[in-house]
Each structure stands twice: as C-alpha cells, then as structure tokens.
C-alpha cells in the first residue's frame, strides 16, 4: 500500500520555474557554440532539451534586432518631440484665432 506522504507528493503541484533573460541568453549561447550536446546542457542546467532549442531559436531571431536598433531611446525621443511640435502648432492656431476674434476687445 502507498504511504500517505507519497500520495501527497504525487498530487502536489510543482511551482513553475522562472528564468531571467541573462540565464536564457547564457544557455542559448552555450547551445550555439556547440561545445556540449543538447543532452549535456539539459542535464547541466536541469532543463528540457526543447526549452533550450526554443531559447536558441529566439536568440538567433532576436539577435539581429540588437544591432538594428542601436539607440531605441532616440526613436522615443523623436516621437515625443514630434508630438510636442504638434501640440505647439495647435496651441498657436488657437491663440491666433482668439487674437483675431477678440482683437477689438483687447
């Protein structure tokens, strides 16, 4: 007969592990270098081989973006400047309209 503590161990859920981006990149780079087999890497890091393959594929696909957008904050700054110029233009038009309509009363 199965002991009660064994039944509890079998029915309790194991919490899902979360990995940092640095760890994923480290494992993906090791997989790309091919100094160790996928099986060896999965045993060393206690990961499923499919997960390593996914991280490797993701690293390859997203690695190009690292070099394309060298300054993503510059794009954000340009968008902010553009929106501010639009707002200034709109406010200037409002002021000119009010000057024209209220000119005799000023």
Q: Is the pTM of this model over 0.85?
A: no
Q: Which one, of 29, 93, 83, lies nearest residue 56 by Cα?
A: 29
- pLDDT confidence of 22, banded at 50, 70, 90? confident
Tell me which DSSP letter residue 13 carries: P
In whole angstroms, give the CA distance from residue 4 to residue 16.
24
Checking if the pLDDT of 69 tops 60, the result is no
- pLDDT confidence of 66, banded at 50, 70, 90? low
Q: Domain residues of the chain, as ranges?
A: 19-68, 71-106
In whole angstroms, give the CA distance from residue 98 to residue 88.
15
Give, for 87, the enclosing helix (H) or strand (E).
Answer: helix 72-102
């Amino acid at each position: 007969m199965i002991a009660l503590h064994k039944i509890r161990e079998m029915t309790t859920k194991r919490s899902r592990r979360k990995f940092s981006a640095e760890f994923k990149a480290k494992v993906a780079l090791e997989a790309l270098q091919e100094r160790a087999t996928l099986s060896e890497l999965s045993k060393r890091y206690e990961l499923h081989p499919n997960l390593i393959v996914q991280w490797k594929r993701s690293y390859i696909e997203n690695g190009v973006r690292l070099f394309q957008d060298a300054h993503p904050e510059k794009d954000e700054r340009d968008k902010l400047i553009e929106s501010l110029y639009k707002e200034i233009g709109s406010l200037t038009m409002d002021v000119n309209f009010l000057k024209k309509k209220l000119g005799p009363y000023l």
